[in-house]
Structure 1
Amino acid sequence: MKRFGSLLLVSIFAGAITLGSYKLFFEKSNYKILPSNTKAPVFTTSYTPTSPAGSGINEVDFTTAAQKTVDAVVHVKNLSIVSSGPRNIMEFIYGFQGEERPQVGIGSGVIISADGYIVTNNHVIKNASKLEVSLNNNKTYEATLIGTDPNSDIALIKIDPKEKLPYLAFGDSDQTKVGQWVLAVGNPFDLTSTVTAGIISAKARDLGKNQSFIQTDAAVNPGNSGGALVNTNGDLIGINTAITSQTGSYVGYSFAVPSNIAKKVVDDIMEYGNVQKGMLGIKYIPANSPYALEKGLNEIDGVYIDGVEEGMGAYDAELKQGDIIKKIDEIDVHGFANLTGYLSTKRPGDKVMLTIDRDSETLMIPVVLKERQTVVLPVMGIEVQNLTKDDTKRFRTKNGVKIVGVPETYRGYGLKGKILIAVNNNEIKDKQDAKNLFGAITRYERTSITMINEKGERERLIFQ
């Protein structure tokens, strides 16, 4: 037992001597002696570049943007008269004069000039018999409708103040980036001057109407429509327009019309009285349609051209079926919303440069945009075009539009080829007039259309 204890002590002592010798003579030190006036070393824990502005929300200043914006955003009241519909089948067949009652809708608007021009949403002022605008200082004015574009959901109204008003300048929405801080300013639930903050969640978001929206997670609720989406400099980069929600209230994301589109619509209304749209004249395959899925076209990064319209810019530039649009000017095209969003800022006669993938070869092709010869009317979806000289002689009318396309819903009525001359007793002069008049009706009211057939006879149809 004593022998075992002696061996154990010898082993421990030998191990200590060996370890000490190694530490003293072989192991290198991992420290440095610093002079007393030298600052402590700084070690980076990541190779990701750091932002000089910092990464915390508390380091972002929203106050300047909020102060610049709240006085330029107004409260819009839409006073309208609505009628109740027919209560039974007999009233539907023989007609019924419904009871009229007043209705008040609310929304927001953005002052864009010191003399009182205000941009808002078309759905905010639709069917208004009277428009009322309240400023942030509680002054109230009656507003006049200058013009509207139902397709972009943008409207321009005007008040006549005695003093100059604070206003917002349009920013460049093409320069916005996903992840950028933004503020939404408006009047949700009739609460004036409400500011919410968020980031841009996505760009060129398509909600199924071939439109292009900025998606944000800044809280937007009913009443915010027509209000401002601004960056941290206070530049107007969008007009808040829509939310997608089963409850009708904010659920985490909202949508705004990009400022470049809104500005172009406003400029067109002020200069021409209507919106001038420059078109490529291409036919495309929707990404998730059965045909696209069958042919594998849904996996294409870009816009696949399925055909070109004769007489349009794409036809003149000799674009072909199978070409894939990858870029328009300096804008990358990943889907149809990227393309339509940029084209919405252009007019007929403008030239754009397309980057095309044709049989794995990259081509740069200039295209001059043109005005579309046909237009699809809102609500009913009928496609019409202006009358030719032969049409005016054949049908003996100078006014009206020719029906050249009919959706499946109305194909049993024999509409194609006839001349549409009136809707709800309002005379139609041309395709733009028809578009505006059909844009003013709703899906829930009775609509009558008047046509001229090939025999020169007038026909009148009523749709519910």
Structure 2
Amino acid sequence: MKKIGATLLAAIVGGAIAVGGFKLFENKQMDNMTFEERQKVYYANNPGEEILSSTGNPDFTQAAAAVTPGVVHIQVTMTSRGSRGGGSGSPFDMFEEFFGVPQQRGQARPQTASGSGVIISPDGYIVTNNHVVEEADKIEVVLTDKRKFEAKVIGRDPNFDLALIKVNANNLPIVKLGNSDNVQIGEWVLAVGYPLGLQSTVTAGIISAKGRRIGILDEPTQGRGYGNMGQQEQMISNAVESFLQTDAVINRGNSGGALVNARGELVGINSAIASPTGTYAGYGFAIPINLAKKIVDDFKEFGSVKRGYVGVTFTEINDALRAEKGIDDVNGLYVRDVLKGGAAEAAGLKPGDILTKIEGRVIYSTPDLQEYVARLRPGDKVKITYKRDGKEKDVSLTLKGEEAKAKTEDDKPSASATEIFNKLGASFVPASDARKKELGINSGVVVSQVHRGGVFEYFGVERGLVITEVNGKPVNNVDDVESALGSTRRDIVRITGVPEKGSTVQFNVPLRY
């Protein structure tokens, strides 16, 4: 009997050692895994009930229950540096300032604001927007069960508007990573986050469009903020935009939250709203998760994004270009120039070539190329299909790093001042001296009419608004407006207006939407 007991004890001890050794090995292996691989291990060890996509009358109860615990409230304390402006408004939804919420100057003092984030690994890694945490002095994460943790930034990048933060915790609930390439226009989605200072909130809608480029990451900035322009104006270059557009309700504070499909899978990170008022008006935008996966893996491994570059400047094909170059193609990117020493030159691409496909996928517009390449790293190979002399050819490119970075044609005006003026769809009259005196301004034109089908109508710019500057230049009459439009860059018109005395609005109007 003693012999049996000793044998049993030895077996138990041996099993414990084996399990312990396996756990150490497993943890070691986990350190070298991507977040997607980590999640596969997690779900292999923690199988749950499969959530089916809704059919018939939509029912999102399972998806909402699965996702909500993994979406966190991010509360930030920061010292006002003047780049965003003071006041109590949250800086976290980029279109809040992009479409004209009044900017106020404030003295440097601690401020608090809030956004959302998504837990993607049970050991505390959380993905959110760069603009949620970029000016943070302190970051606090609050879970749905009210637990609070202080977080540190692992990496962030304004060109993608993504950030990875981490809290010191384990066994946290996570949101399952999905595949944004499989998302279909018209598909049901849920937006989960902490809007307008509310607790965890779920809204439903559909995918309205894919591959949206809205110009928000290209807009000029002063310092690190997205607010007022100044003499030290800088351009965010090499920004990548290929947003999923949704009509699920998104408001201030939703930034960094989850966009999930009806199976509860994360397909996007909510980032911006298009609105003339700063609150929901039907258009929300999320970063595709397939792009975010690569970026956050880079943050974890390197602390920054490792980007590969093709090494070309290009222009989207349009009617004017077809007439100018005598080409018949409707889709594709026209190569303006090839960077010396870049991947494209090494592969034999030349100015005048038309990039038609990437890895067999048709290139309809800039985001189709940019997003796919942004998922890769220097040294990765990618197959490009191009057309030369009416014949399509395939070529394999080996992407190069920062040394091969090239500015795009977006740095140049895309249209004449007259074309832009007409596209705005508005009429202007000089502001009277009495009106200028009343508002305390030295220059100004009044929006006298907003025409149907124009950009102003689309974004809700109203008659009666007094515009004092266009693209940073004072305007007093129609000629001034058209002259100032000549300095438009990246298809974004910068406007300063005064709706009432003591109040100034600054907003950017994209010509492409």
| 1:316 is the counterpart of 2:316 | no
Query: Normalising to structure 1: TM-score of the pair?
Result: 0.63
Q: Residue in 1 aligned with 2:132?
A: 124
SS in 2 for 1:267: helix
> 1:117/1:293 Cα in 2 relative to 1: closer, same or farther (>3 Å)?
farther
- 1:249 CA drift (Å): 0.8
- 1:286 CA drift (Å): 4.6
Q: Residue in 1 aligned with 2:483?
A: none
- Match 2:245 to one of 194, 215, 218: 215
Q: Residue in 1 aligned with 2:210?
A: 203
- State the alpha-carbon separation in 2 of the partners of residues 263 and 290 from structure 1: 37
| 1:63 is the counterpart of 2:82 | no
Q: Residue in 2 aligned with 1:139?
A: 147
Per mean C-alpha deviation after superposition, the further-off stretch among 288-297 and 123-132 is 288-297
Query: Is the 1:288–1:298 Cα contact (8 Å) retained in structure 2?
Result: no
Q: Residue in 2 aligned with 1:166?
A: 173
Q: Residue in 2 aligned with 1:104?
A: 112
- State the alpha-carbon separation in 1 of the partners of residues 328 and 185 from structure 2: 24
Query: Is the 2:313–2:336 Cα contact (8 Å) retained in structure 1?
Result: yes
Q: Residue in 1 aligned with 2:371?
A: 341
Query: Is the 1:71–1:135 Cα contact (8 Å) retained in structure 2?
Result: yes
Q: Residue in 2 aligned with 1:277?
A: 307
| 1:258 is the counterpart of 2:278 | no
- 1:111 CA drift (Å): 0.3
Question: What is the letter of the counterpart of residue 160 of structure 2?
Answer: S
Which deviations, in whole Å up to 9, do the C-alpha atoms of 1:325-383 show, x marking residues without a partner?
Answer: 22111432101111101111111111111122222212121111111316689xxx9xx
Q: Residue in 2 aligned with 1:460?
A: none
SS in 1 for 2:127: strand
Query: Is the 2:76–2:112 Cα contact (8 Å) retained in structure 1?
Result: yes
- Match 1:78 to one of 76, 79, 82: 76
Query: Is the 1:186–1:193 Cα contact (8 Å) retained in structure 2?
Result: yes
- 1:64 CA drift (Å): 1.6
SS in 2 for 1:322: coil
Q: Residue in 2 aligned with 1:367?
A: 397
SS in 1 for 2:131: helix
Query: For 1:270-419, what aligned pairs fall within 5 Å after superposition?
Result: 270-286=300-316, 294-295=324-325, 300-373=330-403
Tell me the number of residue pairs that the alignment of Structure 1 and Structure 2 aligns: 313
SS in 1 for 2:382: strand
Unaligned ranges ≥5, structure 2:
1-52, 84-105, 219-239, 412-470, 473-513
- State the alpha-carbon separation in 1 of the partners of residues 282 and 307 from structure 2: 33
In our comparison, the structure showing a higher alpha carbon Rg is 1
> 1:376/1:321 Cα in 2 relative to 1: closer, same or farther (>3 Å)?
closer
- 1:184 CA drift (Å): 0.7
Question: What is the letter of the counterpart of residue 273 of structure 2?
Answer: I
Q: Residue in 2 aligned with 1:177?
A: 184
Query: Normalising to structure 2: TM-score of the pair?
Result: 0.57
- State the alpha-carbon separation in 1 of the partners of residues 195 and 254 from structure 2: 5
- 1:136 CA drift (Å): 0.5
Q: Residue in 2 aligned with 1:236?
A: 266
Which deviations, in whole Å up to 9, do the C-alpha atoms of 1:137-160 show, x marking residues without a partner?
Answer: 111111111110110000011111
Q: Cα RMSD over matched residues?
A: 2.6
Which deviations, in whole Å up to 9, do the C-alpha atoms of 1:14-36 show, x marking residues without a partner?
Answer: xxxxxxxxxxxxxxxxxxxxxxx
Q: Residue in 2 aligned with 1:12?
A: none
Q: Residue in 2 aligned with 1:434?
A: none
SS in 2 for 1:137: coil
- State the alpha-carbon separation in 2 of the partners of residues 313 and 117 from structure 1: 34
Q: Which has the higher contact order (CA 8 A, sep 6+)?
A: 2
- State the alpha-carbon separation in 1 of the partners of residues 402 and 145 from structure 2: 45
